[in-house]
Structure 1
Amino acid sequence: MTTTGDAGYGDIARAMAEALRAGAGAGWTTATLQLQHTGGSVSCTAWSDVTQHVRVEYTSIAGELFERSPATLEVRLDTAGRYVFTARPDIAAMSPGRLIFDGDFRYPGHPRPGLPRPAAAEPTGAPTDPAVLAEVTRLAGEFAERYAAIKGGPPPWPGACTEADLAAAEARIGARLPEDLRALYLVADGDPSESGLLGPYSHDPLVRLVENYLEGDPGSYGWEDELDDDGVVFEPVPFGRVKRLSRNDWWVTFGSDRAMNYLLTDLDPAEGGSAGQVLEYGRDIYGPLHYVATSITGMLTEVVEALRAGKYEDPGGPYLVAETGLRDDPARSYNEVISRAAGLDLAGVVAGTPEPELVQELYLNDAAEVDLAVFAPLPTLRALGVNRAAAVTPSIGGLERLEALQVEAPRVELAALAGHPGLWSLTLNRVSEPLDIDVLRTLPNLTRLDLSRSAVADLRPVCDLPELRVLTLDVDQLRALIECGRPLPRLAALFVTGRTTLAEMAAVRSVFAAGAPEAVVTEISGVLP
């Protein structure tokens, strides 16, 4: 066995080679196994010269990797048992390849921590507003009376917080909570038995609010913040009340439905919103946040009014189910899908779309020749995907809010894109008629570009896109770009589709990240018996 770098990988290298040989089947000459160890998970890709996908049992190897630092590992094996193992901590992923050069880069609407604190959220330590406290206390008291009349006993709330507790919590998170949320904690420090005080939700103990806020990045949420996510941020309905952001330092999670959906209070609303408005995110909330209520007081009022009207269910146990509209979302979905489009009158379909002003994302499937100008009547369309079309003319000048366009078609009349001011993400997939991408120079905000699996007449214009930060190419396109003789774009991330070896990705990294610190690379070669 020959080793350079970390000799501690010796047993892992041999185990990977043995597992690959056991799973490779018959008839192969060379085979490759790649493991990506992130620190929290291990993923596997394996293939041979005769099989695209080889099943490898790597559970025991993964267990060994969890004792080591994150890295990407590869074993290449031949039928004589000769293997070469490589481990690199500087390659994020392979097959498809993933190189991250600037981990702090974010797409539009995806802010890093450090947003300015709203003036009203300054943690002054002042007592809760007496009028707000009186109203919240009154509403909670009426709920408790009606609860006792129905259930035969008081709601099982824990003891109340004190003003000192609230001031200490706010000092830790660096923000003052809304007055009615403060008042709620002065009534009860959480509702662990889910009495129904906030309808289908219950508030957390104050200590958990603080822990949730300070865990990871400050604030709440985090919609598709990774560079390989789609990344377009959609706006909650009603429009204009919530800032269109993937996360906000001043969104504070304070409760949930105990089913992996969470409530936050918004200390930093949009111009048409109000500080302290309540939003929901979580397992069942895909896309934009769900707007729940203007305030905690509004939620309490709706619950109490339902109980007054006798609109409730008593399922037994501690929970009382008031029939409120807090979980209702009267608006249509933010997205629309048009399938089997080849035989449709698209203009008529679009004209008949219910509430077209609310459509922010649209997928068009299996169209014939289509001009995307047909979607101009959708004024808030932000993301448009065209799948399996025969030919596409992307006339999107009338789609002023469009940010992301994905087109899969043999022919695309790319000149129709010229000059769009807001498009920052473009994917052109499986285009067989060679593309002239020179028009992309006219897109002032083009940040992300995916040309993989498409024919491109000349890749050199890629080097002239000043805002381009994330690029996806296939292996052949990448080689052509490197060999074009032009200064390469300054990227935050590069993705390479298809099968890539660790050596190839390391060579690419050295080109795009010239001058970066050298990582410790481990190489081990050996022979299986």
Structure 2
Amino acid sequence: MTLNEAVLALARAIHANGPEGWRTATISMRCTEFGHGGQSGYDNRSWLSVDHTLQTDLATVLLNGESSAVYELVVRSTGEVRLAYTNASGVGPSSATIMRDKDFRLPGHPLPGSIPRPEHARITDAPTDPAALARVPKLGDGRSEEDILAAEREIGFRLPEVLRALHRNGHTEIDQFMLATVEELVEWRGEDGPQFGGWNDDEPLDLDPVPDVWPHGHVKRLCRNDWWLPFAYGDNWDYLAVDLDPAEQGRPGQIIWFDDNTEMAALVADSVDSLLPPWTWSDDVLRNTALVLREEPAPDPHIQEVNANQGGDIDLASFAVLPNLRDLRVNQAGRVQATALPGLEALRVDAREFDLAPLTGHPTLWSLRLYGLQHPVDARVIATMTGLIRLDLAGVEVTNIEALQELPNLKVVTLNVEQWDGVELPNLAVAVLSRADLAQRLAWLDRYDPLDRNRELHVFEAPNLEA
């Protein structure tokens, strides 16, 4: 199939299915050999749905042996068709990204291997503690001291004494969990082992504050830790892990529970010893930390993340009843009255009106995203929030934008074309251009990341669908 054939087949389907009153339909898509994704719609906000096969045909033609392609297809009700596409890297379906520091991570999201080994976890040649062996009934031959020591040398630290004793005395399960073998313990330390939530989230654009596990202050607020050792698994892809690097109020060797799809979810015991019978699982350790709201919140010390969907006018003072709120997202609101909520780390506001003045000098806010405001935002107010690391202003008008250069910790920034023209931020780890067409995104990449020269823009145009 040729490019002309693929483009026109898709354009005809879009045109034929256009709703009443439409004038322009747009598809913005990124394609790889694994599939494609992006945004599409008619200008009157109607849903755009076309045959998946037609989109796949176009993606196949555009890839043509390349690893990826990004395209914008515009179809007008009068029959004109325009396709623009590129195989350049760093381009998404609606934005362009420059990664200047690939090792940068947001708070609570460390790189694997970046946390030093606690001193108490060092490897020794000492045999398993006799007292621990006496506590654990012998069920079989178990594993030898040599087997366990060899595994520890591969893992990089000494196992808790009771966990050693379980393996020495032939145990294969603990309560409803199966014990991993010593070989599995080694295997799980690799890239293919159980992944704590966020382990593979290498892009710092959308990562959120990590919640504090209940009881607060016992487990470090990290999405991953080199010194969390999974050692047992359940029927539902959930795991128990030893925490050798606890928070200030925690205890080395405490036990945490997590599943393969979430960040670490619960502190279930203070040691492997505590898991021995008659230990039973208690649902009391599971605390809901996220909340979707359509009305004012009720007091709750466990809620740390809120999606506020009330609409209309919202006073952020109503969220003061959530003393541990760290991540607040206000969606499609009218007028939002700001309040400097203590401890807030991430704030996203999509509203008609929002005065930032009450947030002046906020001490803990490190992420701010603003959308949809029908009035300008003064960057001089934002410049007083010196803890800001991530900032997205592409969806609002900004005055005095050069003031952003005063923020000492700013590392991840999303702006539109006009905003990037007004500010110099050379020390960013990640720079993003949003709300720009494909040609603008490529020109921006050429300006701010000129070393990559493979950024050709290809354009196909047809005056009518019969071309």
TM-score of the two chains, using structure 2 as the length reference: 0.82
C-alpha distance after superposition, 1:490-513 (max 9, x if no partner): 333344445632x32222222333
TM-aligned CA deviation for residue 15 of structure 1? 7.5
Q: Is the 8 A contact 1:123 1:175 kept in 2?
A: yes
Relative to 1, partners in 2 of residues 1:523 and 1:389: Cα closer, same or farther, differing over 3 Å? closer
| Identical amino acids, percent of aligned pairs | 33
Inter-partner Cα distance in structure 1 for 2:9 and 2:149: 58
Inter-partner Cα distance in structure 2 for 1:249 and 1:217: 13
C-alpha distance after superposition, 1:313-345 (max 9, x if no partner): xxxxxxxxxxx2x2523564223444234xxxx
Match of 1:254?
A: 231
Deviates more, 1:288-297 or 1:96-105: 96-105
Relative to 1, partners in 2 of residues 1:495 and 1:82: Cα closer, same or farther, differing over 3 Å? closer
Of 509, 513, 528, the residue aligned with 2:449 is 513
Q: Is the 8 A contact 1:123 1:176 kept in 2?
A: yes
Relative to 1, partners in 2 of residues 1:250 and 1:287: Cα closer, same or farther, differing over 3 Å? closer
Query: Is the partner of 2:268 in helix, strand or coil?
Result: strand
Inter-partner Cα distance in structure 1 for 2:218 and 2:142: 32
Counterparts of 1:232-247 in structure 2, within 5 Å, are 232-247=209-224
Read off the aligned partner of 1:431 and give its amino acid letter: L
Query: Is the partner of 1:391 in helix, strand or coil?
Result: strand
Deviates more, 1:518-527 or 1:387-396: 518-527
C-alpha distance after superposition, 1:8-41 (max 9, x if no partner): xxx785785366346433488996563332x755
Q: Is the 8 A contact 1:381 1:401 kept in 2?
A: yes
Of 430, 442, 456, the residue aligned with 1:493 is 430
Match of 1:316?
A: none
Q: Is the 8 A contact 1:220 1:264 kept in 2?
A: no
Of 118, 139, 148, the residue aligned with 1:166 is 148
Inter-partner Cα distance in structure 2 for 1:65 and 1:291: 50
Inter-partner Cα distance in structure 2 for 1:76 and 1:336: 38
Query: Is the partner of 1:25 in helix, strand or coil?
Result: helix
Relative to 1, partners in 2 of residues 1:52 and 1:458: Cα closer, same or farther, differing over 3 Å? farther
Inter-partner Cα distance in structure 2 for 1:208 and 1:67: 42
Of 421, 429, 432, the residue aligned with 1:483 is 421
Q: Is the 8 A contact 1:266 1:276 kept in 2?
A: yes
Of 192, 207, 211, the residue aligned with 2:187 is 211
Q: Is the 8 A contact 1:235 1:288 kept in 2?
A: no
Q: Is the 8 A contact 1:123 1:170 kept in 2?
A: yes
Counterparts of 1:202-351 in structure 2, within 5 Å, are 202-215=178-191, 220-222=196-198, 226-282=203-259, 286=262, 288-303=264-279, 324=280, 326-330=281-285, 332-341=287-296, 350=298
Read off the aligned partner of 1:71 and give its amino acid letter: S
Match of 1:187?
A: 169
| Cα root mean square deviation, aligned | 3.7
Match of 2:398?
A: 456
Relative to 1, partners in 2 of residues 1:492 and 1:217: Cα closer, same or farther, differing over 3 Å? farther
Relative to 1, partners in 2 of residues 1:173 and 1:523: Cα closer, same or farther, differing over 3 Å? farther
Relative to 1, partners in 2 of residues 1:128 and 1:520: Cα closer, same or farther, differing over 3 Å? farther
C-alpha distance after superposition, 1:72-108 (max 9, x if no partner): 33375887888665312x2252225444333321111
Match of 2:410?
A: 468
Read off the aligned partner of 1:281 and give its amino acid letter: F
Read off the aligned partner of 2:7 and give its amino acid letter: A
Match of 1:3?
A: none
Match of 2:305?
A: 361
Of 10, 13, 26, the residue aligned with 1:20 is 10
Higher relative contact order (CA 8 A, sep 6+): 1
C-alpha distance after superposition, 1:122-166 (max 9, x if no partner): 223432222112212x2x65xxxxxxxxxxxxxxx8x62222222
Inter-partner Cα distance in structure 2 for 1:101 and 1:241: 35
TM-aligned CA deviation for residue 415 of structure 1? 0.9
Match of 1:116?
A: 116
Q: Is the 8 A contact 1:363 1:386 kept in 2?
A: yes
Read off the aligned partner of 1:380 and give its amino acid letter: N
The answer to whether residue 164 in structure 2 is matched with residue 130 in structure 1 is: no
Relative to 1, partners in 2 of residues 1:120 and 1:327: Cα closer, same or farther, differing over 3 Å? same
Read off the aligned partner of 1:366 and give its amino acid letter: Q
Q: Is the 8 A contact 1:91 1:505 kept in 2?
A: no
Read off the aligned partner of 1:233 and give its amino acid letter: V
Inter-partner Cα distance in structure 1 for 2:24 and 2:221: 53
Inter-partner Cα distance in structure 1 for 2:98 and 2:192: 23
Match of 1:101?
A: 100
Of 68, 72, 78, the residue aligned with 1:71 is 68
Larger relative helix fraction: 1
Relative to 1, partners in 2 of residues 1:82 and 1:410: Cα closer, same or farther, differing over 3 Å? closer
Structure 2: 5+ residue stretches without partners: none
TM-aligned CA deviation for residue 416 of structure 1? 0.8
Relative to 1, partners in 2 of residues 1:46 and 1:97: Cα closer, same or farther, differing over 3 Å? farther
Q: What number of residue pairs does the alignment pair up?
A: 451
Of 331, 334, 342, the residue aligned with 1:387 is 331
